[in-house]
Amino acid sequence: MYEKKAELIGRQRAAAIWMQRGLGLSHLWLAWTNVFWVVLVGLPWFAPVLMRIGASGPVRGIYIFYGFLCHQYANRSFF
């Protein structure tokens, strides 16, 4: 009826305590996940805005980072 919870010992216990207290992952994991996805999805939309205001340095970094993730070829574009 009642299942006994597994007890953590040694390194596992230390790692679990560090993740819960040190990183705040126990109650903020959804917030950190949302921040990660907003940044990942939002940066490509923010790059043209930065280019328009003349900040070409950060834009170059964004384009280099997403160059490894996106494979856009001229023969696949509509232009």
pLDDT at 4: 66
User: Residue 78 and residue 49: Cα distance in Å, rounded?
Assistant: 22
Q: Can you tell me the mean pLDDT for 2-22? A: 74
CB 19 within 8 A of CB 26: yes
Q: Can you tell me the mean pLDDT for 50-55? A: 92
User: Residue 25 and residue 16: Cα distance in Å, rounded?
Assistant: 10
∠ CA 47-51-57, rounded to 5°: 85
pTM for the structure as a whole: 0.53
pLDDT at 49: 92
Helix (H) or strand (E) holding 55: none
Q: For the range 30-35, what are the long-range contacts, defined as Cβ-Cβ under 8 Å and sequence gap of 24 or more?
A: none
